């Protein structure tokens, strides 16, 4: 094979199909070349890197272009080993030797993109495409950067070009481009276009399990249970262990939605068998077991999830929620503390701990947590509880903090009418008339009762709190707060 033929093969990405290369002569050089060009194949890239290095030593006084090729191959070897610094250095040297060598720009752009540096990757993709407009991989890589930067129109344009260049997926790009188009359309709410794109991707690469899994999730969201289950089953049949657990979990969620709880639990069993570290499967199975009254099994699932994923803060929050629902407040507090220790900006956990402390009557510490929530993500309920906890703890600043927090709320939204009662702008009778929904009436009873407690109007408070317990669903925070207040009043 001539040197010109070799580089034409390289540019087309068809080196393995071009037959034996003799560019670098016979014997050891030929063997080194074969090793060098396969730098990304196999688990051990070291032999390929050494082969590329030996060829580079031979090529010191030869063509700059040939050195650029060898440097690019070696860079792929360094990248396979995870040494992106050396890979980038080799590619930069290759570009310095041959500024017209498009593969080096594309490879360096890929490294930068994978390092979350699209601002640096994009110019390299631009140059690779300018030098070689038919490089489907460069188009796809640039599309990923456009998508990361929310430039959806530009991303889709590049994906369409990649598909035109590689319509039959001969370079392995078209299927990736179609699947990326599907994801972008899902994000944009164009579900029909997304499903069409998934179909095109599946036709080109029918053994990619992740395509069936992603399409199943879309179909499940559309309520198309039959087709979603078929895609989950196909994902599992393909035997790719990376996706089996997620597919079983998807099936379980569909069963749970239809209240087929036994089938759902059985599917979660399979999900956990496929991946014993799948935390979400344990948590979801725990929720179903709780609904079936199997609290022992539910707690065992939550314990197992934490044992296998001890650094995940959401798992401690989930177990804290479970303990709180069982009125095991001491254990719940320990779990919320751990969740916050692992993730100090975990606002939801702060809110849960604030409520728990309110239930426990630890109003002073409850104030601290509610204050933190309202400084970051205030909502009507956190503002109301903050005021109640602060007032009952004797905080003189309660009214001032209350006024500051409500500035972020919308007067037209519930529970703002309750806030107006606290502000003295509305009376209890008017509030009860405005609370037209069962949930609103439940909440109005509790907050009126708790407000009366802050004014030492015990008889009126007890009346409203009892009404809250009678009217609120047991899983409402207002039910539990009213019940605990009544116990304290006794």
pLDDT at 399: 67
What is this structure's pTM? 0.80
- What Rg, from alpha-carbon coordinates, does the chain have? 31
Give residue-wise pLDDT tens across range 355-375.
Answer: 999 999 999 999 999 999 999
Q: Is 230 exposed, middle or buried (0-12, 13-18, 19+ CB in 10 A)?
A: middle
- Within 10 Å of residue 269's Cβ, how many Cβ atoms? 14
**Low-confidence spans in the chain with pLDDT less than 50:** 1-26, 61
| Contact present, 447 and 455 (Cβ < 8 Å) | no
Give Cα separations from 80 to 39, 72, 378 (angstroms). 8, 13, 47
pLDDT at 40: 63
Q: Residue 277 CA to chain centroid, in angstroms?
A: 17
| Longest pairwise C-alpha distance within the chain | 101
Q: Show the CA angle centred on residue 415, arms to residues 410 and 417, nearest 5°.
A: 85
Give residue-wise pLDDT tens across range 99-125.
Answer: 999 999 999 999 999 999 999 999 999
Q: Which residue do the tokens 């309202």 mark?
A: 374
- Within 10 Å of residue 404's Cβ, how many Cβ atoms? 14
DSSP state of 457: -
pLDDT at 212: 98
Q: How far apart are CA 400 and CA 412, in angstroms?
A: 22
Establish whether the linkage from the previous residue to 415 is cis, with ω within 30° of 0.
Answer: yes
pLDDT at 3: 35
Q: Is 17 exposed, middle or buried (0-12, 13-18, 19+ CB in 10 A)?
A: exposed
Please report which residue ranges of 361-379 form alpha helices under DSSP H: 363-376
pLDDT at 64: 86
| Contact present, 393 and 364 (Cβ < 8 Å) | yes
pLDDT at 396: 59
């Amino acid at each position: 094979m001539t040197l010109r033929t070799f580089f034409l093969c390289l540019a087309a990405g068809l080196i393995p199909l071009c037959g034996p290369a003799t560019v670098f002569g016979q014997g050891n050089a030929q063997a080194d070349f074969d090793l060098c060009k396969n730098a990304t194949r196999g688990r051990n890239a070291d032999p390929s890197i050494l082969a590329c290095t030996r060829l580079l030593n031979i090529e010191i006084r030869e063509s700059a272009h040939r050195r650029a090729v060898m440097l690019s191959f070696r860079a792929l070897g360094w990248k396979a080993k995870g040494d992106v610094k050396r890979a980038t250095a080799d590619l930069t040297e290759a570009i310095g030797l041959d500024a017209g060598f498009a593969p080096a720009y594309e490879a360096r752009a890929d490294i930068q993109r994978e390092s979350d540096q699209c601002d640096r990757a994009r110019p390299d993709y631009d140059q690779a495409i300018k030098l070689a407009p038919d490089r489907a991989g460069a188009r796809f890589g640039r599309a990923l950067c456009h998508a990361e930067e929310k430039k959806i129109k530009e991303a889709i344009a590049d994906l369409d070009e990649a598909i035109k260049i590689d319509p039959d997926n001969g370079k392995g790009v078209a299927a990736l481009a179609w699947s990326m188009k599907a994801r972008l359309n899902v994000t944009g709410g164009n579900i029909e276009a997304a499903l069409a794109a998934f179909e095109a991707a599946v036709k080109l690469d029918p053994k990619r399990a992740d395509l069936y899994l992603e399409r199943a999730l879309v179909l499940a969201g559309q309520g198309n249970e039959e087709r979603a289950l078929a895609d989950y089953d196909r994902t599992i049949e393909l035997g790719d262990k990376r996706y089996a657990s997620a597919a079983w979990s998807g099936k379980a969620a569909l069963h749970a939605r239809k209240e087929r709880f036994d089938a759902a639990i059985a599917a979660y069993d399979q999900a956990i068998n496929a991946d014993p570290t799948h935390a979400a499967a344990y948590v979801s199975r725990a929720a179903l077991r709780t609904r079936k009254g199997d609290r022992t099994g539910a707690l065992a699932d939550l314990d197992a999830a934490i044992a296998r994923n001890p650094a995940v803060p959401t798992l401690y929050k989930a177990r804290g929620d479970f303990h709180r629902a069982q009125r095991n407040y001491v254990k719940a507090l320990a779990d919320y503390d751990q969740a916050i220790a692992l993730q100090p900006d975990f606002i939801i956990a702060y809110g849960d701990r604030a409520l728990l402390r309110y239930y426990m009557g630890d109003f002073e510490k409850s104030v601290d947590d509610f204050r933190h929530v309202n400084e970051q993500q205030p909502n009507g309920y956190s503002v109301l509880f903050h005021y109640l906890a602060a007032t009952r703890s004797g905080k003189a600043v309660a009214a001032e903090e209350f006024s500051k927090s409500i500035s972020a709320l919308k007067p037209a939204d519930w529970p703002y009418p309750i806030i107006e009662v606290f502000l003295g702008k509305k009376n209890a009778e008017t509030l009860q008339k405005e609370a037209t929904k069962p949930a609103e009436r439940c909440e109005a009873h509790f907050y009126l009762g708790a407000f009366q407690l802050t004014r030492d109007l015990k008889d009126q408070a007890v009346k409203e709190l009892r009404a809250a317990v009678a009217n609120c669903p047991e899983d409402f925070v207002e039910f539990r707060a009213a019940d605990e207040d009544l116990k304290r009043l006794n």
